Amino acid sequence: MNNNPIGIFDSGVGGLSVARSIREKLPNEDMVYIADSLNAPYGNKSDEFISMRSSYIIDHLIGMKAKAVVVACNTATVSAIDMLRNNYSIPIIGVEPGIKPAVAASKSGTIGVLATEQTVNSVSFQNLVNRFSDEAHIETQSCPGLVELMETHKFEGHEIRYMLERYVMPLLEKGADTIVMGCTHFAFLTKILREIIGSELKIINTYQAVAIETSRQLNVNNLLTSNTKDGDTEFLSSNVHEKTALLFEKLWGEPVIVSGFA
């Protein structure tokens, strides 16, 4: 089983930021990535829908012999990770907003979190915020529409810059000196955000931490591959159209084939 692939899924293409980091950390592992772009974003969906859809996707990944699954989606993690870990015997690795490293990095004691509506409103996220409420003032900002733009190939340009600026400015006005990217999609907007907020403020992404945790989980469960060649990556999407492969290629960094997923 240790030579079976790692399964990774997200509501769309944002989780490719996590997958790329896992590829760098574990170059010999095979991976299967599923983008549920037909249902993106998860940020405006109910807990019940997210739990049902996450289970459906994991069942599919297990059918493809996945030895572990990375939930490369903040919203799916905060909405369904406990249920998923209870229901499946393989390792399930999640991703949550990097509030802990942000608190450690902040000098002003105020941090801002950009996330989806479902993440911001979830009990799990509120519990995370409460854990650090004595150490920092945490301001949250939901970002409706941002993921939708990115899923339509708009990762740069005036429209997405304007929207990102509109969401981050209230956090800066409240004194935030550290911005948490609380959605894996937003990792691909780091360059634009840096142009907006300048070089002095800090930006926190968690994809590297997820890659490290994935490696650790495989190691403690004796699931690291014995392959010495470069691993393969298979890409699937629930919304394949003429531009899908181009979007994946832009974010993955090399040509890929994207198959359909129902």
Catalytic annotation present for 73: yes
Indicate which residue of 19, 26, 40, 73 is catalytic.
Answer: 73
Answer for the pair 23, 233: CB distance below 8 angstroms, yes or no.
yes
Residues shown for the chain: 262
Alpha-carbon distance 112 to 169, whole Å? 10
Q: Annotated catalytic, 143?
A: no
Catalytically annotated residue among 143, 183, 256, 258: 183
Q: Residue 85: CB partners within 8 Å, gap ≥ 6?
A: 92
Pair 236, 37: CB distance under 8 Å: no
247 neighbors 225 (Cβ within 8 angstroms): no
**Of 119, 122, 157, nearest in space to 41 by CA:** 119
Q: Which residues participate in catalysis according to the annotation?
A: 73, 183
